[in-house]
Structure 1
Amino acid sequence: MTGVQEARPRGARRWAIDLRPLRVPAYRRVWFGNSVAMFGFQFTAVAVPVEMFGLTKGSFWVGLLGVAGFLPLLVFGLWGGAVADARDRRRVLLGGGVLLWASTVALLAHALLGLGSPLLLLLLVALQSTAFAITSPTRSAILPRLVPDELVPAASTLNFTTFTATSVFGPLAAGLIFAIWRTDVGLPIAYAVDAVLFGASFWATWRLPAMPPEPDPAAENGPRRAGLSSVIDGFRYLATTPVLLLSFGVDLIAMILAMPRALFPEIATERFGNPAAVGWLYSAIAIGSMIGGLTSGWIGRLRRQGLGLVLAVVGWGVAIAAAGLARQLWLMIALLAVAGAADLVSSVLRQSMLLIYAPDRMRGRLQGVNTVVVAGGPRLGDLRAGTMAAGFGGGVAWVAGGLASAVLVVVLAAAFPALLRYRAAASSGDRT
């Protein structure tokens, strides 16, 4: 693959999302395949809790779906990152993709046969989460092999923007299925849509060239093994790189202290007297992220990425706190959308720093850590918000969490200025 020529953007193109990575055939196929598959996955994401609630008539079992999904993610996300650094990444994606598709087909069979087993549903969700945990670090780690280094921020932005767009439109499309058909008919349709659309991702992965691991100059006993020692090596490397460690730290602070989604049902009912408002609250952050992605052309030209990351995370906390003070629904939605845009910027910058700063031999393991942080932070944030709301009320839990997040990130960045000093490397190496 040859380098992509870079023309200086003018006018609106300076702000519009950077589409240059789509000129690279391999990336374009992967982006298209993953986008279609992620849209299909949203049908399953809606169908599973609908099916569980229909079987049990209780939210407790629906809540257990989160536990069933998170525990495999925690374990296999780290192991999956080690696998990505020790095996051909194309083969890892193909193997994990087969497992992911099989779990979706099993959900389809469970619905078609009318088995009606909540425990089996939990097991299938855990299996699906295991497959996702194996493939997610690998899917992220291959990005610098698909596009030149200078296009990694733009490619990351495209990936995040697409994900947020599917998070907005996918559930709406899934909701239409259940609005048109009865649940017992809608469930198989939703699972079937997911299973069929996943074929696009498998096709794109099949078209990739072999991606064997790069040699590790520190390895003394032959090729790396995807075991506990490999995972520990990844944590050891992370501990010696303050920039990456701090980037994970500020994200955890932002998600644990300022994520307000567990408070949405309470605020929608008590503050606005309209339970239907909860749908808008759950969509607002994703809508902001999508809009932020569509106007993200400037992110790839940002050189002081460390400072940009800190400002974006602080902006997230301040916007969340301000939204918690809003008494009009439209204003709260607008402020949550601002927070979502800030979250998009911070996610792209953190991912770009991780992919460029870390050597290829470590990218899989660090992406495994990233998977755990990104998935675990919001869930811990739900626990923090719910616990604090039980003692002090939803409004206090919301506003105090946002302010504490912003203040703590500023203190952390000032105490350890390595992140503030980080600048993007002006690299232009080609990828084959």
Structure 2
Amino acid sequence: MTQGVTRRWAIDVRPLSVPAYRRMWVGNAVSFFGFQLTAVAVPVEMFAITDDSLWVGLLGVAGLVPLMVFGLWGGAVADAVDRRRLLLASSSLMWAATAGLLLQALLRVGSPTLLLGLVALQTIAFAISSPTRQSIIPRLVGPELLPAANTLNFTTTSGSAVVGPLAAGLIFGAFGTDVGLPIAYGVDALFFAISFWATLRLPPIPPSVERATMGLRSVVDGIRYLATAPVLLLSFAIDLIAMVLAMPRALFPEVAEERFGGGAAVGWLFSAIAIGSVLGGLTSGWIGRVRRQGVALTAAVVVWGIAVGLSGFAQHLWLAVVLLAFAGAADLVSAVYRQSILQTYAPDRYQGRLQGVFITVVAGGPRLGDLRAGAMAAPWGVTLAWAGGGFAAAVLALALVLAFPALLRYQISSPDG
């Protein structure tokens, strides 16, 4: 009885039996911990320099244009060259951007425009490496294990996203920003070496038989295919709604300082969504058995919006963390289904390009959300910017899929297990 319950609910670890995937999984989890230190450090540094949440929101803008351009182009390149080599090259660029953040913190430059530029450079590298990495996974584990592999990825990176911001909060609480910033950036650079090692150990991942080109024509070809796939379009659209309207992270530094007394509160806020994602992942054994993945994806997005909306009213840190964690569990579910639908629905020759579109939406949405939240906070206050966006996201996402029900009708051909 106990074993049956465990198999039904516990996370599926079968993909870890594939050595190449296992190394990649370990490298990603460890490096993402370091990246989360930087993800907290950059907005904290920007707020410390400017004392303005709008500048924090502009960090999202600095990443948006590079993400849109290089996400699409990087996906096309991933369909045309050896994906391992491309991942090595883009990872090297990301390492260089992190080194730049470390150097400017050590020199105490204090320039918001330099921070924006380094974030843009880091986003260029991310926009190329992320679709490349995601398009490698189906080649390593095969279609049967894709939901489990994606769940493992999202759960472990979410675990790093829990520990990373909490560690950042402790660092800033103990050392302040002057010392804490170089520590955060330095740990990120050090831990990224493990991910680089894992990439070096990957086998060659050459293009499929139908080799794509690397130019604009290839990008257009991928977008043309996407236009014929309403299931994928709708999955992208509701995620964009959820992230643009309901991502409150640009408000975390201000809310932590003014509502929750500063100190380690900012770490808890940045960690809360990831805490929920980890808990959702650890109890995710059921995810691979769901056939109506479009319905499950939609429900998860609606729950995300409602939970974020409620958290915007919280006057106690623990309550905000609990509600954001609940939102994070829903986000884990939606992320797994979005990625699994894309990886099984689209043929391999389009995987790189569609992963480029995917990462542009998934990572670009929160950056637009940062700008939206920061811009709304100044005239209307943080509560409306936070809570109002969450509820609006839930309503609009549900309205969209009801108006265009292709996603609700989508289901896999046979249940997993």
After TM superposition, the score normalised by the length of structure 2 is 0.88
**What is the match of residue 78 of structure 2?**
84
Choose the corresponding residue for 1:283, options 266, 271, 290: 271
SS at match of 1:142: helix
**What is the match of residue 360 of structure 1?**
348
Letter of the structure 2 residue corresponding to residue 415 of structure 1:
A
Letter of the structure 2 residue corresponding to residue 159 of structure 1:
N
CA RMSD of aligned residues (A): 3.0
Choose the corresponding residue for 1:93, options 79, 87, 92: 87
Choose the corresponding residue for 1:199, options 193, 202, 215: 193
1:147 and 2:135 matched:
no
Offset from partner CA, 1:75-127 (integer Å, 9 cap, x none): 21111111111111011001112222223334344445666655444433322
Offset from partner CA, 1:162-198 (integer Å, 9 cap, x none): 1221112112323444455575554444333222221
CA distance in 1, matches of 2:366, 2:249: 9
Choose the corresponding residue for 1:251, options 200, 215, 239: 239
**What is the match of residue 134 of structure 1?**
128
1:164 and 2:158 matched:
yes
* Gaps in structure 2 of 5+ consecutive residues: none
Q: Report how far residue 66 of structure 1 moved.
A: 3.4
Deviates more, 1:311-320 or 1:227-236: 311-320
Native 8 Å contact 1:149 1:427 kept in 2: no
Change (3 A) 1:362 1:340: same
Give the % identical residues.
Answer: 67
Q: Report how far residue 156 of structure 1 moved.
A: 0.7
Aligned residues: 414
CA distance in 2, matches of 1:278, 1:170: 12
Choose the corresponding residue for 1:104, options 98, 108, 114: 98
Q: Report how far residue 348 of structure 1 moved.
A: 0.6
Choose the corresponding residue for 2:36, options 31, 34, 42: 42
Choose the corresponding residue for 1:235, options 223, 226, 229: 223
**What is the match of residue 119 of structure 2?**
125
Q: Report how far residue 25 of structure 1 moved.
A: 0.8
CA distance in 2, matches of 1:185, 1:143: 38
Q: Report how far residue 239 of structure 1 moved.
A: 0.7
Native 8 Å contact 1:150 1:300 kept in 2: no
**What is the match of residue 296 of structure 1?**
284
Change (3 A) 1:256 1:129: closer
Native 8 Å contact 1:79 1:368 kept in 2: yes
Choose the corresponding residue for 1:71, options 65, 74, 95: 65
CA distance in 2, matches of 1:275, 1:115: 24
CA distance in 2, matches of 1:273, 1:87: 49
Change (3 A) 1:329 1:188: closer
Letter of the structure 2 residue corresponding to residue 333 of structure 1:
V
Q: Report how far residue 228 of structure 1 moved.
A: 1.5
SS at match of 1:30: helix
Letter of the structure 1 residue corresponding to residue 364 of structure 2:
G
Letter of the structure 1 residue corresponding to residue 29 of structure 2:
S
Change (3 A) 1:255 1:241: same
Deviates more, 1:25-34 or 1:106-115: 106-115
SS at match of 1:38: helix
Superposed, which structure 2 residues align to 1:374-389 within 5 Å?
374-388=362-376
**What is the match of residue 214 of structure 1?**
208
Native 8 Å contact 1:319 1:339 kept in 2: yes
Rg larger in 1 or in 2? 1
SS at match of 2:128: helix
CA distance in 2, matches of 1:59, 1:352: 35
CA distance in 2, matches of 1:371, 1:141: 11
Native 8 Å contact 1:103 1:128 kept in 2: yes
CA distance in 2, matches of 1:155, 1:260: 28
**What is the match of residue 220 of structure 1?**
none
Native 8 Å contact 1:264 1:278 kept in 2: yes
Native 8 Å contact 1:80 1:138 kept in 2: yes
